[in-house]
């Protein structure tokens, strides 16, 4: 498995069992496209078990044998993502209950109850049947556990599981009442059975409960995933498992889930070519997700799904223009992917995603643009095999913690029209990315050693222990950047009493006085403080007013009642240095700000400044230079066509 970059697609032969000609043609075309692995049978449960306990695995045996014969490996799916109609009908408890307490009917997919003992038993049976039959097949190199985990269930089983989880976490109702400040609005619980998950017709205002419910959902989803993993490993102890994660997915703490799997992966569907964003911006946004998924385990991942052409479920389905599929595949590799796979190999004839792009379209042709480009990418990935397994150097870390995000976004105020948390993150990431600095994402459980720079954007919920880590990191010579609205609440969303940012006032050399919300489009001017290298700019969204207690101002507000107060400041602390950004600045602020910070701190991927559109990424001994633009571009003596890529190994161009 090492020494190669995997190339493949979701493969759903169960949709074509009545067309052996098509199944045969699939293998032939896969070879032409340099396919080395397929994710097999993700939605095949009905085909594998058409009636309860009636397993029909022979067709899959044939498919796997044929793939193996063709040199193609299998990422074998557990089919739990979509259950058969008979199962949904016979056992209502497996169907989810919506937040409004209405149980779902059969339909769609990925909507089973994660708690249901019946569902777990039925999943166990089919998973183990697959494991027994195929678990030791030489073609099977990976297990694809279910599919795109997500969602939540509010059934009575889940309510009980939630209460048990709370009892385990807090020990007593008293502790819960304190943690959630239930005295507010007289919500004191006197019996566990009074606690219920949020509902449109029920609780919607108890921040601590809502936060813990989100944590529970993430926990329970991960617990279900572990159940499946362990069902497989009971039969095949050495089985490797992966899950496919999603773009900016809010409902699961992927760091938590990542601890339980062997390989992280994600399904990447950027809306390339949209009029509201440059191609480069879309590319950086995609890179950010690659780096987040890399960070989940701190090791190479797979881009488990993408489209060779277009999706069918976005508002507007744009096709990738010529060269873009190549660009995006190589970009994934640059950021740490060891595998690039599509959804899906062959377009379905009917149902929801029949117009989702695939390597083989309804026309069945190999002489079209999409197939040709897919085959070309397959060939290039073979050529780039040496990149496989290469890790990325630790340089900068951005703090991104699911619990902290949930707390921030659920906290009610100071700007309910939108805090723009991802927008804030993106500003920092994009600047570092354009500078060619490697960025990891870390949560509040992380160790910070090895990083030179840590950025904590809107770290509203700051745990005591993590505040201590940030302090130590800075003390020991690290560079810390903290923004407005950080260090406000503890890990149950109780506000810290006393000065804030809690635990960081001395590190930052200041304390928060007030924070003012800005309307959309409303900005405030900032000017450089004396001696500051920063330029005048505007800011908005939220303007925090600080009392400096040691820090030196870098920018000063130049408007409103807080005119003259610091909008940005720096403080020397121990052997390190801590910056405070008291507001969200216009985008142009961040690149020069981080260029100054990074100078002498980290080695950038490309020694010279790059023109707009050119992006350089270092992955171990390899450097990828990509032209994220639809016109030719040049960096030094390297000229790249639109969407072109150059790869260097130890400084030598190999592509």
182: contact with a copy of itself by CB under 8 A: yes
Residues 30-59 close enough to bind a copy of itself by CB under 8 A: 43-47, 50-51
Residues 606-645 close enough to bind a copy of itself by CB under 8 A: none
* Cis ω for the linkage preceding 507 (within 30 of 0): no
Helix axes 58-69, 20-32, angle to 10 degrees: 30
496: contact with a copy of itself by CB under 8 A: yes
What Cα–Cα distance (Å) separates residue 542 from each residue in 508, 514, 516, 562, 582? 19, 10, 6, 12, 8
175: contact with a copy of itself by CB under 8 A: no
Out of 93, 152, 280, 305, pick the active-site residue. Answer: 305
260 has catalytic annotation = no
Among 645, 493, 522, CA closest to 586: 522
Q: Which of 24, 69, 513, 535 binds a copy of itself (CB under 8 A)?
A: 513
Tokens encoding 466: 């993590």
Q: What is the DSSP letter of 104?
A: P
Q: Which of 115, 311, 395, 483 binds a copy of itself (CB under 8 A)?
A: 311
Q: Which of 498, 531, 600, 607 binds a copy of itself (CB under 8 A)?
A: 498
Q: Which of 128, 181, 532, 603 binds a copy of itself (CB under 8 A)?
A: 181
Q: Which of 185, 237, 637, 652 binds a copy of itself (CB under 8 A)?
A: 185
654: contact with a copy of itself by CB under 8 A: no
When the beta carbons of 513 and 654 are compared against a copy of itself, the nearer one is: 513
In terms of DSSP H, where are the helices of 450-576? 464-475, 505-508
Tell me which stretch binds a copy of itself (CB under 8 A): 374-382, 387-395, 498-506, 608-616.
498-506
When the beta carbons of 328 and 479 are compared against a copy of itself, the nearer one is: 328
- Interaction mask 359-388, a copy of itself, x per CB under 8 A: ---xxx---xxx------------------
CB of 522 to a copy of itself, least distance (A): 6
148 has catalytic annotation = yes
523: contact with a copy of itself by CB under 8 A: no
Neighbours of 512 (CB within 10 A): 22
188: contact with a copy of itself by CB under 8 A: yes
Q: Which of 208, 378, 478, 503 binds a copy of itself (CB under 8 A)?
A: 208
355: contact with a copy of itself by CB under 8 A: yes
d(CA 360, CA 20) in angstroms, rounded, equals 16
Residues 144-163 close enough to bind a copy of itself by CB under 8 A: none
d(CA 134, CA 122) in angstroms, rounded, equals 18
Tokens encoding 344: 């899906």
Residues 425-484 close enough to bind a copy of itself by CB under 8 A: none
Cβ burial 444-481 (10 Å sphere, 16+ → b, else e): bebebeebbbbbbbbbbbbbeebbebbbebbeeebbbb
CB of 2 to a copy of itself, least distance (A): 34
Tell me which stretch binds a copy of itself (CB under 8 A): 78-86, 137-145, 473-481, 587-595.
78-86
Residues 316-345 close enough to bind a copy of itself by CB under 8 A: 316-319, 321-322
234: contact with a copy of itself by CB under 8 A: no
3-state secondary structure 249-274: CCCCCHHHHHCCCCEEEEECCCCCCC
Among 589, 539, 588, 598, CA closest to 566: 539
When the beta carbons of 172 and 193 are compared against a copy of itself, the nearer one is: 193
Between CA 421 and CA 427, with CA 422 as vertex, the angle to 5 degrees is 100
d(CA 55, CA 48) in angstroms, rounded, equals 6
Q: Which of 53, 138, 413, 600 binds a copy of itself (CB under 8 A)?
A: 413
CB 406 within 8 A of CB 575: no
Q: Which of 382, 423, 522, 572 binds a copy of itself (CB under 8 A)?
A: 522
416: contact with a copy of itself by CB under 8 A: yes
Own/partner pairs, 44-47, CB within 8 angstroms, 24+ separation: 44/12, 44/14, 44/77, 44/79, 45/79, 45/80, 45/82, 45/83, 45/84, 45/87, 45/126, 46/14, 46/84, 46/85, 47/14, 47/17
538: contact with a copy of itself by CB under 8 A: no
277: contact with a copy of itself by CB under 8 A: no
CB 575 within 8 A of CB 584: no
312: contact with a copy of itself by CB under 8 A: yes
411: contact with a copy of itself by CB under 8 A: yes
Active-site residue set: 148, 305
């Amino acid at each position: 498995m090492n020494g190669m970059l995997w190339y493949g697609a979701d493969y759903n032969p169960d949709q074509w069992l009545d067309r052996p000609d098509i199944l045969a043609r699939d293998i032939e075309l896969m070879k032409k496209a340099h396919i080395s692995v397929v994710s097999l049978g993700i939605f095949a449960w009905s085909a594998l078990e058409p009636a309860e306990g009636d397993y029909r695995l022979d067709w899959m045996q044939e498919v796997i044998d044929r793939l193996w014969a063709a040199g193609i490996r299998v990422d074998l799916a557990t089919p739990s993502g979509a259950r058969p109609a008979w199962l949904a009908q016979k056992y209502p408890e497996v169907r989810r209950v919506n937040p409004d307490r209405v149980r779902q009917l059969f339909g769609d997919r990925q909507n089973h109850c994660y708690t249901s003992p019946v569902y777990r038993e039925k999943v166990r049976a089919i998973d183990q049947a697959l494991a027994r039959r195929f678990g030791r097949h030489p073609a099977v190199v990976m297990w694809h556990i279910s599919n795109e985990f997500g969602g939540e269930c509010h059934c009575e089983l889940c309510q009980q599981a939630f209460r048990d989880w709370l009892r385990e976490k807090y020990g007593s109702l008293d502790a819960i009442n304190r943690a959630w400040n239930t005295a507010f609005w007289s919500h004191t619980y006197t019996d566990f059975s009074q606690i219920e998950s949020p509902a449109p017709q029920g609780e919607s205002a108890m921040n601590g409960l809502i936060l813990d419910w989100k944590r529970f959902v993430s926990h329970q989803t991960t617990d279900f995933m572990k159940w499946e993993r362990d069902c497989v490993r009971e039969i095949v102890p050495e089985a490797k498992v992966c899950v496919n994660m999603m773009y900016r997915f809010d409902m699961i703490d992927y760091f938590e889930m990542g601890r339980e799997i062997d390989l992280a992966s994600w399904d990447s569907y950027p809306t390339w070519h949209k009029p509201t964003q440059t191609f480069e911006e879309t590319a950086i946004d995609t890179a950010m997700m690659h780096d987040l998924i890399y960070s989940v385990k701190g090791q190479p991942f797979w881009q488990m799904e993408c489209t060779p052409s277009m999706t069918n479920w976005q508002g507007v389905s744009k096709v990738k223009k010529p060269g873009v599929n190549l660009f995006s595949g190589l970009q994934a590799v640059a950021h740490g992917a060891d595998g690039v796979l599509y959804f899906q190999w062959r377009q379905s004839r009917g149902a929801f995603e029949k117009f989702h792009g695939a390597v083989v379209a309804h026309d069945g042709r190999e002489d079209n643009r999409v197939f040709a480009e897919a085959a070309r990418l397959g060939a290039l990935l073979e050529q780039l095999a040496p990149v496989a397994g290469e890790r990325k150097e630790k340089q900068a870390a951005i703090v991104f913690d699911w619990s902290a995000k949930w707390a921030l976004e659920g906290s009610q105020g100071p700007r309910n029209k939108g805090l723009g948390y991802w927008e804030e993150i993106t500003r920092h990431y994009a600047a570092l990315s354009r500078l060619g600095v490697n960025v990891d994402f870390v949560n509040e459980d992380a160790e910070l050693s090895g990083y030179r720079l840590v950025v904590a954007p809107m770290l509203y919920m700051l745990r005591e222990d993590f505040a201590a880590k940030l302090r130590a990191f800075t003390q020991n010579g690290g560079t810390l950047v903290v923004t407005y609205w950080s260090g406000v609440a503890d890990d149950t969303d109780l506000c810290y009493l006393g000065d804030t940012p809690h635990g960081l006032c001395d590190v930052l050399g200041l304390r928060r006085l007030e924070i003012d919300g800005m309307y959309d489009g409303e900005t405030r001017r900032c000017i450089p403080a004396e001696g500051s290298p920063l330029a005048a700019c505007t800011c908005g969204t939220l303007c925090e007013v600080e009392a400096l207690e040691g820090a030196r101002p870098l920018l000063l507000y130049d408007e409103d009642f807080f005119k003259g107060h610091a909008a940005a400041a720096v403080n020397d602390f121990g052997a390190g240095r801590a910056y405070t950004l008291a507001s969200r600045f216009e985008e142009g602020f961040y690149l020069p700000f981080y260029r100054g910070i990074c100078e002498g701190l980290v080695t950038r991927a490309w020694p010279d400044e790059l023109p707009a559109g050119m992006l350089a990424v270092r992955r171990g001994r390899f450097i990828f230079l990509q032209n994220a633009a639809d016109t030719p571009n040049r960096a030094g003596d390297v000229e790249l066509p639109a969407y072109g890529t150059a790869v260097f190994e130890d400084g030598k161009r190999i592509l």
